[in-house]
Amino acid sequence: MSNDTNTTVNTATAAPAIVFTVKENDIVKGKVAKIKNHPAQGILIAIEGNPMSFLPNGCIAGKNNEEKAARRAELIATPGTEIEVSVMGQPTIETVKGKQVGRIKVSEQRAVIAAEKSARAAKAAERTVALEAAVASLVPGTVVIGTVKGVASKDSDRNPGEKHVYGCFVAIAPNVSGLLHAKEIVGGHRAIDSLVAAGTVEVEILSAKIENGEARIQLSQKSIGQKAFMDQYPEGAKVKGKIVKTGEVVDGLHGRVIELGSGDKVFLADDDANVKSESALARGNSTRVVITTDTVGGMVRVTRRGV
């Protein structure tokens, strides 16, 4: 006699564990789910390797509700369409009627904004590289023809509500402009309007660098003439000229303007009039002077010391 043992075998398969391959803020691709009736509050998006995700209506790409509604209708009408979405918050697992369900909420609008931001950053990086290359090519001492783009001004300290013009901006390379300060313009402030009207100007690049992502280019119009002058009249040269003006010459400085044989004008300050007789330096008289490297009001300063 044998004893039979009844053995019950449980053939039920355990539900697979819910796995997420995405996390908060990930930008991923998904496909519009092909189902008969999408939920009224949004659209179901299938992301490979993850539970079905949910795209709320308010997170569909669009500038306003009308655009979002049109986009929703377009997506529902074309199941399988691949779109890029951003994961909103960490995916979670919830228990619904005793069954575990994975929850992933996504946003198409956030993905669009992220793509636009990335594109802007890429363009900014390109502009930075181009700007650095352009500025690196601007060698100090180089003379170029630039296009006057307009005046440079700031709020006036003396006259509230008014603008103080202190120079003009000159384009000297593609997308690169430099400052031509009034002190570097032949004729100073009074010549700014004529420069703007002329439209172009020959300038020397004094310095070129980048600060805080912006080009800082300093230009000079005076230095061109001064260099030509110094080539003809080097420092220490003794020259003779005719006194054509006396009194206050520029910036409150008193002295004499002396015109040399070349037509160039130089400045001799009163405190440097090293002569025995003041009348000897009267207007119309000739005098000998020594060239220095200083400048005043666009003119080279001279001295009588050492004559």
User: Does 103 fall in a domain?
Assistant: yes
User: Does 294 fall in a domain?
Assistant: yes
Q: Do 240 and 217 fall within a single domain?
A: no
User: Does 247 fall in a domain?
Assistant: yes
Q: Do 45 and 100 fall within a single domain?
A: yes
The DSSP code for 276 is: S
Q: Which of 162, 186, 221 is the last residue of a domain?
A: 221
Q: Please tell me the predicted confidence (pLDDT) of residue 109.
A: 97
Q: Do 79 and 147 fall within a single domain?
A: no
Q: Do 184 and 258 fall within a single domain?
A: no
User: Does 296 fall in a domain?
Assistant: yes
Question: 173-177: long-range contacts (C-beta < 8 A, 24 or more apart)?
Answer: 173/134, 173/137, 173/138, 174/134, 175/127, 175/130, 175/131, 175/134, 176/131, 176/134, 176/135, 176/138, 176/215, 176/217, 177/149, 177/215, 177/217
Cβ count near 251 (within 10 Å): 9
Q: Do 199 and 274 fall within a single domain?
A: no
Q: Which domain holds residue 193?
A: 143-221
User: Does 252 fall in a domain?
Assistant: yes
Q: What span, in angstroms and rounded, lies between the C-alpha atoms of 246 and 256?
A: 4
User: Does 291 fall in a domain?
Assistant: yes
Q: Do 264 and 285 fall within a single domain?
A: yes
Q: Please tell me the predicted confidence (pLDDT) of residue 1.
A: 47
* Alpha-helical segments (H) within the chain: 65-77, 108-136, 192-198, 222-232
User: Does 100 fall in a domain?
Assistant: yes
State the CATH number of the domain containing residue 280.
2.40.50.140
Q: What span, in angstroms and rounded, lies between the C-alpha atoms of 81 and 92?
A: 25
Q: Please tell me the predicted confidence (pLDDT) of residue 12.
A: 52
Q: Which of 201, 221, 241 is the last residue of a domain?
A: 221
Q: Are 5 and 53 in contact (CB under 8 A)?
A: no
User: Does 13 fall in a domain?
Assistant: no
- Over its length of 307 residues, how does the chain's per-residue pLDDT go in tens digits? 445 545 554 555 556 789 999 999 999 999 999 998 899 999 999 999 999 999 999 999 999 999 999 999 999 999 999 999 999 999 999 999 889 999 999 999 999 999 999 999 999 999 889 999 999 999 998 999 999 999 999 988 888 888 899 999 999 988 899 999 999 888 888 889 999 999 999 999 999 999 888 889 999 988 787 777 777 888 888 898 999 988 887 667 788 899 888 778 888 888 876 555 566 788 888 888 998 888 776 678 899 887 7
Q: Which of 67, 96, 113 is the last residue of a domain?
A: 113
The string of DSSP letters for 160-171 reads TTSEEEEEEEEE
Q: Do 212 and 238 fall within a single domain?
A: no
Task: Indicate the Cα dihedral angle 167, 172, 174, 175, nearest 10°.
Answer: -20
Total domain count for the chain? 3
Q: Do 105 and 155 fall within a single domain?
A: no
In the block, tokens 């020259």 appear at 239
Q: Specify the pTM.
A: 0.57
